[in-house]
Amino acid sequence: MITAALAIAVILAVGAALIRHLQSRAVDRARPGRSPETAIPIENYADIDVAVRMQSCRCGGRFVVRGEGPSEHHGHPLRVTHLECRSCEREQRLYFDLSTLRH
């Protein structure tokens, strides 16, 4: 009886942890710039540097740009930066909408 109760408790704990993880990922993807759908509109390329400096990792660390390049989503010109956390080495992408870019 105790073994069955312990097994149920473990299953519930694992299920709760999985739900929290999935919710955290959904919230993370909904943040500005975290997906092509939420790309950050910029007026000049300096705005990218500012946005990157404002980002922080889940661990509290700061990101460094490891790469940057063009992208496109449903015909909209995008710029994507590939970031890496200086503390935990977590990788992340940040998308920027170039449709309002001033030349």
The CA distances from residue 23 to 5, 41, 92, in Å, are 27, 26, 17
Q: Give yes or no: residues 4 and 16 share one domain.
A: yes
For the stretch 34-62, pLDDT in tens is 999 999 999 998 999 999 999 888 889 99
Tokens of 96: 């920027």
Q: Give yes or no: residues 58 and 94 share one domain.
A: yes
pLDDT band at 27 (very low <50, low <70, confident <90, very high): low
Residue 71: which residues within 8 A CB-CB, separation 6 or more?
36, 78, 79, 80, 95
Which residue would you say has higher pLDDT here, 21 or 3? 3
Provide the pairing of β-strand 40-41 with 91-97: parallel
DSSP tag of 59: T
Q: Give yes or no: residues 20 and 69 share one domain.
A: no
Q: What whole-number percentage of the chain has pLDDT above 90?
A: 45
The CATH number covering residue 101 comes to 2.30.30
Q: Give yes or no: residues 25 and 42 share one domain.
A: no
Evaluate whether 59 touches 87 at the Cβ level (below 8 Å): yes
Q: Give yes or no: residues 50 and 18 share one domain.
A: no
Tokens of 94: 């940040």
Whole-number average pLDDT of the chain: 86
Tokens of 16: 């709760």
Evaluate whether 57 touches 84 at the Cβ level (below 8 Å): no
Evaluate whether 95 touches 88 at the Cβ level (below 8 Å): no
Domain hosting 66: range is: 33-103
Q: Give yes or no: residues 50 and 62 share one domain.
A: yes
